[in-house]
Structure 1
Amino acid sequence: MKTNLPLVALATLLSGSALAGQAPGPAASPDIPISARDRFYSSDQFSNTVSVVNPADNKLLGVIRLGDITPANLSPLYRGQLLVHGMGVSPDAKTLLAISIGSNSVSFIDTATNAVRQTTYVGRSPHEAFFTPDGREVWVSIRGEDYIAVLDAATGKETARITVPNGPGMTIFSPDGRYGYVCSSFSPETVVIDVKSRTIAGRVKQESPFCPDIAATPDGAQVWLTLKDVGRTMVFDAKPPFAVIKTIETGPLTNHVNFARTKSGQFAYVTIGGLNQVKVFRTDDFSPVATIPTGALPHGLWPSGDGSRIYVGLENADQAAVIDTASNTVIATIPIGQGPQGVVYVPNAVPDGDGMQNLQPLGAAGKSSTLTLSGADGKPVTQVTLFDQGVLQTLQAAVTGLPPKKPFVLALSTDPKGSGAIEPLAAFMTNPAGAAVVNAIGPIRQVTQGAPEAARRYLVIVEGKPGETGSPVQLQKAP
């Protein structure tokens, strides 16, 4: 008896999986096994690079250098990109997007040659950008303002603006291309945009104002968004009336969410920066499946083309962690650029050749060191990374374990117990989960590690504001 299978069904059978299609594509798409033609990319905020990894052997091939490290990027004549942060990829896998917050730019990069084809400058502090599923447009979330910039994908030119609530964090599209889902980083509201008419088709109340990431399930049924300030993840119906289905308490500094479809089902993977973990949930009943230790401050994550791996950028470790989705364990770590933020995995990014054109070695930006701050009970609660920028370091502290919504100061002290005079580095306010990401710049490694006793300084966190500080609450832990 002759059987006529649809092409999509035939491709699914040939892929060897009962479920197929990985984010951000539809579930009906065929799985694509991992090969040396694939690439994993990360946007590296402090080295201003894009790291390029071959997932067949999990090796860093090199970086696409979009800008310089500090202090070269502080010149008024500086022409490179600054704070390379967001990522996106075209449906045909031929074009990579890199978003630079500090220079307000979108870089269009050819995946086959690693060459920057076009740079488009947009509004204040763009955060993320993504292609519409038909590949014709790029929607850029202008987080420093209140709109989505619509770019022509062929020319990179801005053609329209869509007004949304203040501070749009990210736009992702339904797999069928009908809707664009836009969460906010400054307003407690996600909006759903009808892509054809560019009008708002629905609104979803966020449980906090700070959403850094949003993703749609490949089966087209759900949209998941993360709330970094309160440590929660929300799920709502991808179709009208876009009702909230579930809110999950995930943990401090909840960062990004993405999905993997395997023979066992469809799963959501969520990075929890304050716990250095990825948490895994089923999407049918939202039950927790696994908690995976990853390394320092996991941020962006993306599935391989067959859902067998999840690649995670470790922001404060300058590494990518590779998770096997069958066992939900980390099976490899890969050194990459400084402070990886957004990431994408691109199947068949390099159809021909070795894909090494225009790549450079990571160089000095591959160096970093870490410190730990402990609470009153002596247990480590805050991890600090010093990203080497030559004589200077960019400091980033993933602060946890403090009272919520209170002012504190990260400072240097001559006393390991934090008493006496201090030198403030950065003032900050904790979020509702008692956490914060704190940055500073200076020759911090030289005075906190290996300096003579007379010149030695210790990192501390003290209560209050600069000039009005109180008692120390966290102290640098002895190595």
Structure 2
Amino acid sequence: MKTTNKFAVATLFSFLLVTAPAFAGTVYIPEGSAGEILVVDADTGAIKSRWSGFEAVHGLAGAPGARYIVAGSYSEVSKDDSKAPAKPEGISQDDHEAHHAPKAADAMPKDAAVSILTIVEAETGEVVRRIEVPGAVHHVAMSPDGRYAVATHPTTDGISIVNLDTLALEAFVPTGISPNYAVFARDGKSVFVTNTDSGTVSEVDIDKAFVRRNILSGETPEHIVISRDERRLYVADAYAGRVHEVDISDGTISRTLDIGGEIHGLDLADDGKTLFVSGKGDDKIAAIALSTGEPIFAALAPAPYHLTTVSGTDRIYVSSREEPKVWIIDQTNLAVTGEIPIVGEGHQMVVLP
């Protein structure tokens, strides 16, 4: 297996890309413990704005053309202690209450702690609604049509389904032990959820709010992406250092791609022919040609963490788990072409045109 390191890390140039921009997009970076969302120009790496007021923001989701971005908090409180924040000065009581959804008692599991899912206007960062959900939010997914959002809850072993037309929690669906990541099918009718401590991926019917099937997916499945033709899932078996290619039609693992060390984020190139993986444990990044399964590695330190490809460009954004920064990586040679300083930790990034 080819494991060359010839694509060494290049000199870092803050906010400067060596390639010409392909389109004017925006990257949204949740800054974890800083409680903020950083808004970045995808072409230049320049910071456009910073949205504040998102406690322990970890999960973030959006979709091209969708009105909202959905942010999830990893902080939780007991249900008895939860209450709407105090009304800010200069805001009417009606406007204040409109930002907070009524409690969805029928959808919430009994005795579960709650956290907050925040619905935000994508263009302005204005908070539209804060919704109580059962348990800390790890990651968030949005249906391609922008109608639904799903939040994973590792402390309550299920997912929340939120209707973005009504801005309300519709259902809580138990999926497995420690649900981690989620990805929608293109039609928005189903979502695939990894259950890390169950070693499974659950396929959930959104309209009926139930698990259609569970698919065995290695030892500790975490991040997940779906192929462009929707025939395969690529599942990061994080601590085993492998990515499993799962055939959606029959739920079997068709092949396993060995990366080595602890891995974390993964994403596909625009053409779906290359899979990029961050190797948090071994300080590396991998590009895998899916036609052959052959990986190419480049050193990247410290602790490359969340990873997202920037559609329409040849770039990848990769956060560090140990330092407050996001690297800008060239997809063609895995060289670092820029660096964005952040505050806190860069978690689930969203790229929108």
What does 1:323-334 align with in structure 2 at a 5 Å threshold? Answer: 323-327=288-292, 329-334=293-298
Task: Give, in whole Å, the separation in 1 of the partners of 2:300 and 2:275.
Answer: 16
The match for 2:67 among 133, 136, 152 is 136
Provide, for residues 227-278 of structure 1, a one-character-per-residue CA deviation record: whole Å limited to 9, x for no partner.
Answer: 22333322222x310321222333333221111135xx62100001121100
Equivalent residue, structure 2, for 1:100? 31
Equivalent residue, structure 2, for 1:212? 180
Provide, for residues 291-339 of structure 1, a one-character-per-residue CA deviation record: whole Å limited to 9, x for no partner.
Answer: 1101211111111111111111111122221122222x13311333422
Asked if residue 271 in structure 1 is aligned to residue 236 in structure 2, the reply is yes
Equivalent residues of 1:255, 1:298 under 8 A apart: no
Q: Flag the 1:93–1:340 CA change in 2: closer, same or farther, 3 A.
A: farther
Q: Flag the 1:108–1:220 CA change in 2: closer, same or farther, 3 A.
A: same
Equivalent residue, structure 2, for 1:335? 299
Note the C-alpha offset of 1:173.
1.3
Equivalent residue, structure 2, for 1:149? 118
**Structure 1 gap segments, 5+ residues each:** 1-56, 66-91, 356-362, 366-479
Equivalent residue, structure 2, for 1:171? 140
What does 1:315-394 align with in structure 2 at a 5 Å threshold? Answer: 315-327=280-292, 329-349=293-313
Provide, for residues 169-192 of structure 1, a one-character-per-residue CA deviation record: whole Å limited to 9, x for no partner.
Answer: 222111222211111122122121
Equivalent residues of 2:270, 2:312 under 8 A apart: no
Aligned-pair RMSD on alpha carbons? Answer: 2.6
Identity in percent: 20
Q: Flag the 1:206–1:93 CA change in 2: closer, same or farther, 3 A.
A: farther
Task: Give, in whole Å, the separation in 2 of the partners of 1:96 and 1:332.
Answer: 26
Equivalent residues of 1:60, 1:334 under 8 A apart: no
Equivalent residues of 1:214, 1:226 under 8 A apart: yes
Note the C-alpha offset of 1:95.
0.8
Task: Give, in whole Å, the separation in 2 of the partners of 1:199 and 1:251.
Answer: 34
Output the TM-score relative to the length of structure 1.
0.51
Equivalent residue, structure 2, for 1:261? 228
Equivalent residue, structure 2, for 1:109? 40
Task: Give, in whole Å, the separation in 2 of the partners of 1:243 and 1:268.
Answer: 20
Asked if residue 185 in structure 1 is aligned to residue 150 in structure 2, the reply is no
Asked if residue 118 in structure 1 is aligned to residue 49 in structure 2, the reply is yes
Equivalent residue, structure 2, for 1:310? 275
**Structure 2 gap segments, 5+ residues each:** 1-6, 16-22, 77-114, 316-322, 326-353
Task: Give, in whole Å, the separation in 1 of the partners of 2:238 and 2:305.
Answer: 12
Equivalent residue, structure 1, for 2:163? 194
Equivalent residues of 2:59, 2:137 under 8 A apart: no
Task: Give 2:128's aligned amino acid.
Answer: T
Q: Flag the 1:126–1:166 CA change in 2: closer, same or farther, 3 A.
A: same
Provide, for residues 160-213 of structure 1, a one-character-per-residue CA deviation record: whole Å limited to 9, x for no partner.
Answer: 2122112112221112222111111221221211111011233311222x2221
Note the C-alpha offset of 1:104.
1.8
Q: Flag the 1:314–1:203 CA change in 2: closer, same or farther, 3 A.
A: same
Greater gyration radius: 1
Q: How many residues align?
A: 266
Partner-residue secondary structure (3-state), 1:342: strand
Note the C-alpha offset of 1:219.
4.5
Q: Flag the 1:137–1:221 CA change in 2: closer, same or farther, 3 A.
A: closer
Equivalent residue, structure 2, for 1:229? 197
Partner-residue secondary structure (3-state), 2:239: helix
Output the TM-score relative to the length of structure 2.
0.68
Note the C-alpha offset of 1:120.
1.8
Note the C-alpha offset of 1:60.
5.9
Task: Give, in whole Å, the separation in 2 of the partners of 1:230 and 1:308.
Answer: 29
Note the C-alpha offset of 1:134.
2.2
Q: Flag the 1:249–1:318 CA change in 2: closer, same or farther, 3 A.
A: same
Q: Flag the 1:63–1:257 CA change in 2: closer, same or farther, 3 A.
A: farther
